[in-house]
Structure 1
Amino acid sequence: MQLIDIGVNLTHPSFAPEREALLARAFQAGVEQLVVTGTSLDDSEAALGLCQALDDQQRLFCTAGVHPHEASQWNSASAAVLRGLLAEPRVRAVGECGLDFNRDFSPRPQQEKAFEEQLAVASELHRPVFIHERDASERLLAILKDFRDRLPAAVVHCFTGERRTLYRYLDLDLHIGITGWICDERRGTPLQELVREIPRGRLMLESDAPYLLPRSLRPKPKHGRNEPAFLPEVLRCVALHRGEDEADVAAHTSACARAFFGLPRRAE
């Protein structure tokens, strides 16, 4: 079974001492390709640099964008910088961008402005979008609807929402990213029931490492940090709650991710 991790925060400082070893463990675990998440323009530059430095086998790709937590950094020059990043072959999507009305680390008007302008760049360059949303689905949908016809695709990363929200995302022809949240017996139960309702061709898997260590993982790492090598546990839980074979889920989610991000098939 070969998996594609569509969201790993490889630039996170906790990974700095052992990024090569971490990637080796991921490849050994069957994670064939990874998409490194960019969360600010500087972080997106760093993500691109890691892809170029650590991979010569078409395994690592990245996104470029400004997370809603960093939206206050978005300014008149940001769109041009983003366009420059998107000209790089390793950069496959705009994001992580969106709205977060849960923590409000950036003022909501600035979040909305940064999101709208990133969607405009994605529309102009015909790039897919990697979306973050927390407690903001109504406003996010309202903004996204104006751009959706001009976007090739968009994925709501780390989906944890309710049934109504899922249906509205699917009605807008969005993709859905599932993380280790589904492995959590405390707060993941609603998602365990909903995951079977995500159509094939719209479902992708992600670690969101170093966050969201699957609670069902055994044995648990002593450091308590998630990493892409644990993505097979997310696969196991998704397959269990969809009533599908693990190999089948691995195949259709990886095919979906490859099509969404335009990832090449690797020569074995």
Structure 2
Amino acid sequence: MSAVAAGAGLDLVDIGANLAHDSFHADFEAMLERARAAGVTQIVVTGSSLASAEQALLLAQRHPGRLYATAGLHPHHAAEWSDALGARLRALAAAPELVSMGECGLDYFRNFATHDEQRRAFAAQLALAIELRKPLFLHQRDAHADFLAMLKAHRAELGDVVVHCFTDTREALNDYLALDCHIGITGWICDERRGAHLLEAVRDIPDARLLIETDAPYLLPRNAPKHLTRDLHRRNEPAFLPWVLEAVARARGQTPAEVAQHSTANARRFFGLPEPPRH
């Protein structure tokens, strides 16, 4: 079984799960129970559009102490940015369950929005995070140079920052660490076909900057047993976070307990989370 006996005794925080995704509608409560049984005690629900941010906040309010939310506009949706949308994100941020701005950043891999549109929306959200004094949940893919330049220009004014779902090069990782960023590692590290480079890069992350996440329903860990995943039609969910934990620990030469302790403490400090309810 492994993955720390499938969660026995773990206390993990999944810092990025897209639980507003419609694939979770049919079995939401059962999915949360599977996460709890796997030792995932708290989950930060990603808001990557206005609709998903509103839904993420609603889910957090329905599950106090266990779910929290972010609010941002993913670069795929950057063409939708407007002052009115920014005002709505600002309003959502007033809720105590809204613990971070983002997901925002740059994505030149898909280019669902133009580079100019992406940079405009990213700049506006950097300013919003500075104004609201909120942590920032960031996305970057195939856009490192522009992303780094924009982040560096504002880093001194920003609070805590996490580059989530990190999949880039070791050099890019160290650029972000030099800016005192946290780094979010997903099941990409469990995929020997495309994530092998992370097995070395992840060793560079200081204990105090390491965070782990599922990015559910995406990036199902390839090391998760097939009997646990076959009925989910390849959908990832927070219950599989222990398999990310196990891969990260092995790559770093640490025990899963050590990585769990550091990543959970980091997540609670980063997002300002209390200890979870024990019932």
Kindly provide the amino acid, as one letter, of the partner of residue 241 in structure 2: L
* 1:6 corresponds to 2:23: no
Match of 2:171 among 164, 173, 197: 164
1:157-182 deviation digits (Å, cap 9, x = unpaired): 00011111011000011110000000
Q: Indicate which of 169, 183, 193 corresponds to 1:186.
A: 193
Residues 1:236 and 2:246 aligned together: yes
TM-fit CA distance, 1:47? 0.8
Q: Is the 1:7–1:37 contact (alpha carbons within 8 Å) kept by the matching residues of 2?
A: yes
Give the whole-Å Cα distance in 2 for the aligned partners of 1:15 and 1:263.
Answer: 24
Question: Unpaired segments of 5 or more residues in structure 2?
Answer: 1-9
2:52 is the alignment partner of 1:51: no
Distance in 2 between residues matched to 1:162 and 1:241, nearest whole Å: 16
Asked if the contact 1:179–1:208 (Cα under 8 Å) also holds between the matched residues in 2, the reply is yes
1-structure distance, mates of 2:100, 2:53: 11
In structure 1, what is the equivalent of residue 274 of structure 2?
Answer: 264
Take 1:101 and 1:224, find their aligned partners in 2: how far apart are those partners? 26
Q: Give the corresponding residue for 1:97.
A: 104
CA deviation vs aligned residue, 1:25-70 (integer Å, no higher than 9, x gap): 00110001000000111210011111112x13x0100100000000
Contact 2:66–2:277 (CA under 8 A) maintained in structure 1: no
Find the counterpart in structure 2 of residue 247 from structure 1: 257
- Asked whether the equivalents of residues 204 and 256 of structure 1 are also in contact (C-alpha less than 8 Å), the reply is yes
In the TM superposition, 1:71-220 aligns within 5 A as 71-220=78-227
**1:211-252 deviation digits (Å, cap 9, x = unpaired):** 000011113511111110000000000000100011111000
Partner-residue secondary structure (3-state), 2:225: coil
- 1:201 is paired with a residue whose SS is helix
Q: SS of the counterpart of 1:17?
A: coil
Which residue of the other structure, out of 12, 17, 21, is the alignment partner of 2:26? 17
**4+ aligned runs moved over 6 Å, structure 1:** none
Q: TM-score, normalised by structure 1?
A: 0.97
CA RMSD of aligned residues (A): 0.9
Matching of residue 224 in structure 1 with residue 234 in structure 2:
yes
SS at match of 1:204: strand
Q: Percent identity?
A: 55
With structure 2 as the length reference, what TM-score do the two structures score?
0.94
Of 199-208 and 43-52, the range deviating more from structure 2: 43-52
1:38 aligns to 2:57 (yes or no): no
